[in-house]
Amino acid sequence: MRQNRVARPLWIPAFGGMVGIGRQEARAPALAEPQRAPYVRRNMPPDRPTAQQRPDAGFRTLGRFLPFLWPKAAPAMRARVVIALLLVLASKAVTLLMPFAYKGAIDRMAGHVSPAVGLAMALVVAYAGARFGGVLFDNMRNGIFERVGQDAGRRLAVLVFRHLHDLSLRFHLERRTGAVTKVVERGTKSIDTMLYFLLFNIGPTVIELSAVCIIFLVKFGPGLVAATVVMVGLYIAFTRSVTDWRTKVRREMTEFDTRATARAVDSLLNYETVKYFNAEDREARRYGKAVQAYADAATKNEVSLAMLNIGQSFITNVMMAGAMAYTVWGWSRHMFTTGDVVLVNTLLSQLFRPLDMLGMVYREIRQGLIDMEAMFRLVDTPQEVEDRPGAPPLHVSSGHVRFENVVFGYEGKREILHGIDIDIPAGTTCAVVGPSGAGKSTLARLLYRFYNLDGGRILIDGQDISQISQDSLRRAIGIVPQDTVLFNDTIGYNIAYGRDDALPEDVVAAAKGAAIDGFIASLPQGYDSEVGERGLKLSGGEKQRVAIARTLLKDPPVLILDEATSALDSRTEAEIQSTLKAVSARRTTLVIAHRLSTIADADQIIVLEGGRIAERGTHAELIRRDRLYAEMWNRQAAEQEEALAAE
């Protein structure tokens, strides 16, 4: 067996405990056990389905995966599969001939005839050549088939990755990133192992067992065949029953493995929060408990493995002893030669070598199919927001945006927006203000069509956005979000992300427009400077300016500014406000703001309260009314005066 067949876990070495089900099992992580989720979220599949959930999951999953293994548009891959299978047959043929060469050499040596020495030596050389041939064909097979398995895994992984991006924002908000990546990791990592065992272990073992039974029938009679079949059947039944029992132990171990991984990923993603609350020791204790639970379960798993190994060894040695005793008895009666004793021993040794790993093979195939089923369940998760068949692209002529009686709620009947009507003429700026939780940012998400409306509609230049393609819609909209998250790459890459075909000079121009070019010039590596994971190497203001530059580079006809300058100091805010004002002059702009001073010159201001429009008008009109907006304005003015006085 190839030593690199069992994949290691994603990133935590401690999770690679001693697991397995065969006498020659490797140390490997729990790759394939179903996870019992504490609850199933609405419209979401469980993180890992158990074997009991889908009795036919293995066959259905295998049926879905076979097209990846036998691609229609890739004849070269098909040829590799055929060649690999031919090499399997060649390897098995050589392996079965090897004991006969060994037998012939022993018989010549036992005859005590001098002229037979040369022939015996030739048979010994043939035996060694057959052993080498078996290794040669096996490794040629592995090398040829590796490209097939890797290509199938690649295409399936890309399919899942693309589908995850197609799923709604609700899906990603309700699922832990660590748990989702674990499902995908287990599914893709199980492909290579499962294919290897199915094609190069189970299949050849069945061929070899059939050939051994035929040889025994011809040379030693039906008695030895019957005994071989009975003992192999007993071996398989014992291995399967104990493996099924061990599955419960492994399931518990894998569940703790998943919990520990999710706990670690979640904690590291919230690195700043941990620091804010001095919670390093608390997180270490929680992680330590999770790893300790995994260690205890892994110990139970190892004990059960020992019990399985003992039982398997007992059955194989009883079979070997019985078969050898029978051939020795036949030799004493001149029914068999000395070489026949060696022949039986060699054939059974070769037969039981793959059977020694039967427990691991059975578990890896069974659980590999379940892991792939879990991954296919992600693929089968329906898209909450889908384009209707033949949806046309959005044609933006002026950028007139209108919300008509928009009703929306994130969960069930709990509405966030109650009949919102907003009209934003082309080229104008509409600001939306209000207390936290009023539904301001929800308007931006709905305009991007991250969710389907519960009622009403949203129009751009008279076109209902639910009737046009999402791709064209999102190409026409640019956003500077309140919480800017950057890719763990260079500043230049993050700015250029705004447009796929952006040239270096376009990136520089966008950086100047966002007033970040001076900061970039001060860095030793300039635009090639790494920003760190989620942009943690940059300050909040610097990250937000990168986001502004990225959107300026996109140059969309409709612009959303979601607290776009909230993380900036007063001087930088003034600089960017002038830039944003110039940019907004020829765009339809929706501004979501908390700081009212930044939107005082908006063409219209919408005041939301409790998901409803409380007021609307210009800054001057709202101040004259002396209601909610005026109260918010006066409060912020007083806070600013207090801050200035404190300085």
- Separation of alpha carbons 138 and 144, rounded Å: 10
Question: For tokens 């050939």, what's the residue?
Answer: 211
- pLDDT category, 231, cuts 50, 70, 90? confident
Q: What is the mean pLDDT of residues 169-185?
A: 64
Domain contains 463: no
Q: In percent, how much of the chain has pLDDT > 90?
A: 10
Amino acid at the residue 391: A
- pLDDT category, 171, cuts 50, 70, 90? low
pTM > 0.75: no
Domain contains 21: no
pLDDT of residue 38: 31
Q: Which domain holds residue 243?
A: 37-380
Task: Supply the DSSP string of 552-588, one letter for each residue.
Answer: HHH--SEEEEESTTTTS-HHHHHHHHHHHHHHHTTSE
Domain contains 208: yes
| Token digits of residue 213 | 């039974």
pLDDT of residue 15: 29
Domain contains 430: no
Domain contains 605: no
Domain contains 56: yes
The conformational region for residue 186 under phi > 0 = left, psi -120 to 50 = alpha, else beta, is alpha
The terminus-to-terminus CA distance of the chain in angstroms comes to: 73
Mean pLDDT is highest, among 36-40, 188-192, 492-496, 560-564, for: 492-496
* Range of weakest confidence among 105-119, 137-151, 253-267, 443-457: 105-119
Domain contains 233: yes
* Range of weakest confidence among 49-58, 71-80, 272-281, 600-609: 49-58
pLDDT digits (tens, 9 = 90+) for 366-382: 777 777 777 777 777 77
- The number of domains in the chain is 1
Q: What is the mean pLDDT of residues 432-457?
A: 87
Buried b vs exposed e over 607-637: b needs ≥16 C-beta within 10 Å?
bbeebebebbeebeebeeeeebbeebbeeee
Mean pLDDT of the chain: 77
- Separation of alpha carbons 504 and 493, rounded Å: 10
Indicate which CATH number applies to the domain containing 61. Answer: 1.20.1560.10
Higher pLDDT, 560 or 574: 560
For residue 403, pLDDT beyond 90: yes
pLDDT of residue 27: 33
> Is 357 within 8 Å of 193 (Cβ atoms)?
no
Domain contains 474: no
| Token digits of residue 88 | 């399997």
Helix 280-332 with 358-380: angle, nearest 10 deg = 140
